[in-house]
Amino acid sequence: MTRSDEDRYIGWDAWGPWSECSRTCGGGASYSLRRCLNGGSCDGINIRYRTCSNMDCPAESGDFRAQQCSAHNDIKYQGVTYEWFPSPYDPSAPCALRCQTKGRSLTVELAPKVLDGTRCRADAFDMCISGVCQEVGCDRQLASGAREDNCGVCGGDGSTCRLVRGQALLHLTPEQCRCNLDLLLLSYPRCCSLISSTFQSRRSSSRMSLDI
C-alpha cells in the first residue's frame, strides 16, 4: 500500500462533542467538528449541525431578530443613532441582519449574518445557521421534511379532524375586521361590522381552520 493509499484509508477522525446551543429557547443550533487525518484531502464535511433549545421562549422575550436590530440602537450609523426594527422579509438575503428605522425612512444591512437560530422568516421554522437558511420541519429538526397536515398535526395524515359545513353569522367590531375576510387574523383596519358567509372548517382538538 502506498502512502497515498494509507492516507485515504485513514480518513476522518471521530466526530467531536456538540457545542453549546446558540440559544436558550426558541430554537437554536449546535455544531460538532471532526478532523481530517490525511492532510485535508478527505471526502465529506468537517462540521455538522443540529437544532437545540426548541422550547418556545416566554412571550415577553420578544422576537430574536428584533433583539439583534435593537442591539444597534446605541451604535451610531453615519454619525447618528437610530431606533432599529427588522425590515420585511427579503428572500434574496434571508440571513442578513437587515433593519429599518422607525418610520421606515432608512433600511440598512447592519450585519452580513444574523445569529445562529434566527428564523429565516416569521412564518416558518427554517433557521439561519452560519449565514445560510436551513430547512427545518414542524418537528423542529433540520431537513426532516416534516409538515403539518390540514388538521394542524405535525406529520399527520389529516385523519384527526372532521369537516364541518354551514353558515356563519359573525358580529365583529370594525377594529376586528379585515376586508379580505381572513377570519383567523382579525386585527386590520375598519371595513365592516357584520359578515355573513358560507364556510367549511376542519375541527380538531387543537386547531380550527376556516375556508371561506
Position 168: which residue type? A
In angstroms and rounded to an integer, the radius of gyration of the C-alpha atoms of the chain is 24
Residues 67 and 130 in one domain: yes
Residue-wise pLDDT tens digits, 154-198: 999 999 988 777 766 666 665 555 554 444 444 444 344 444 445
Question: Which residue in 45, 74, 56 sits closest to 117, CA to CA?
Answer: 56
Q: Which helix (H) or strand (E) element contains residue 203?
A: strand 194-203
Residue-wise pLDDT tens digits, 75-87: 999 999 999 999 9
pLDDT tops 70 at residue 36? yes
Residues 67 and 124 in one domain: yes
77: in domain = yes
Residues 69 and 129 in one domain: yes
Residue-wise pLDDT tens digits, 89-131: 999 999 999 999 988 789 999 999 999 999 999 999 999 999 9
Q: Evaluate if pTM is beyond 0.95.
A: no
What is the reported pLDDT for 104?
78
Write out the DSSP string of 136-180.
B-TTS-BT----B-TTS-BT--S-SSEEEEEEEEEE--GGG--TT
> Is the Cβ–Cβ distance between 84 and 101 less than 8 Å?
yes
Among 134, 152, 175, the domain-final residue is 134
Query: Which range of residues forms the domain containing residue 46?
Result: 3-52
